[in-house]
Amino acid sequence: MGRPLNRRRADGLPGIVDIGFVAGEMEEEMARPLNFAVVETGVFRSGFPEAGNFSFLRSLRLRSVVYLCPEPYPEANLEFLEDNGIRLFQFGIEGHKKHQNAKSEASFQEPFGNNIPEEMIREALKVVLDVRNHPLLIHCNRGKHRTGCVVGCLRKLQKWCLSSVFDEYQRFAAAKARVSDQRFMELFDITSLKHLSPPFGLLKSSAVA
């Protein structure tokens, strides 16, 4: 049981406030973005940050944000980045596309993984691998597919086995996991990025089956 905490009320008179209530207020002020996680020291991932997440992001002392969606960054988010000296790197990767069936006039969605721009993923990884950009947050909309593919390709550079790469991807994508995303990660060629692998903890980690 938390002890009561003396605290002034809104009317200026002393009041009694439960410590648990105060802790709840602090937790709300430091709310994490959807699907937030630590990838490695100085590298984080999440879904799209909202205004309620700004206090928590400020505590990370970010230098950079890698944004993987084509839509313009919201004004409030841009102001937050500017106020905190954070650099934005945007890679406009489409999430999915709707197609029309000529015969049935029914529409269906083409998964992101069917049309992943490999070169754009490669350029995003170059930003992530540059320690001058750390601490860094990688995010898309939900923190599942686009972010998952970038992190998965990074794990290949760390010499993770594919089963571990897929396990991590599925942990975030859950029921929305796509075979096409995993196929992309499996076939992604890391050869052209190996010379960028910096001598720091990011590439010393490895997961084995």
Three-state DSSP at 30 gives coil
- For residue 11, what pLDDT is reported? 46
Which one is predicted more confidently, 143 or 98? Answer: 143
| Percent of the chain residues past pLDDT 90, beyond the cut | 59
Domain that holds residue 173: 37-93+117-193
CA atoms within 13 A on the CB side of 55: 8
Confidence of residue 201 (pLDDT cuts 50, 70, 90): low
Number of CB atoms found within 10 A of residue 77's CB: 21
> Active-site residue among 69, 140, 153, 161?
140
Residue 38 has pLDDT above 80, yes or no: yes
Whether the CB-CB separation of 158 and 205 falls below 8 Å is answered with: yes
Least-confidence region, from 8-22, 78-92, 189-203: 8-22
How far apart CA 24 and CA 26 sit, in angstroms, is 5
Residue range 105-129: average pLDDT? 71
Q: Answer yes or no: is pLDDT of 96 > 50.
A: yes
171 pLDDT more than 90: yes
- Is 102 within a domain? no
Kindly report the CATH number assigned to the domain that includes residue 43: 3.90.190.10
Distances (CA, A) of 42 to 49, 61, 128, 207: 17, 10, 10, 19
On whether the CB atoms of residues 44 and 38 are closer than 8 A, the answer is yes
Active site (annotated) includes residue 140 = yes
Structural domains in the chain (count): 1
Residue 189 makes CB contacts below 8 A (sequence gap 6+) with none
Residue pLDDT, tens place only, 125-136? 999 999 999 999
Please, which residues bridge with residue 16 across strands? Answer: 6
Q: How far apart are CA 71 and CA 129, in angstroms?
A: 24
CA distance 128 to 107: 36
Instruction: With a cut of 60, say whether residue 20 has pLDDT above it.
Output: no
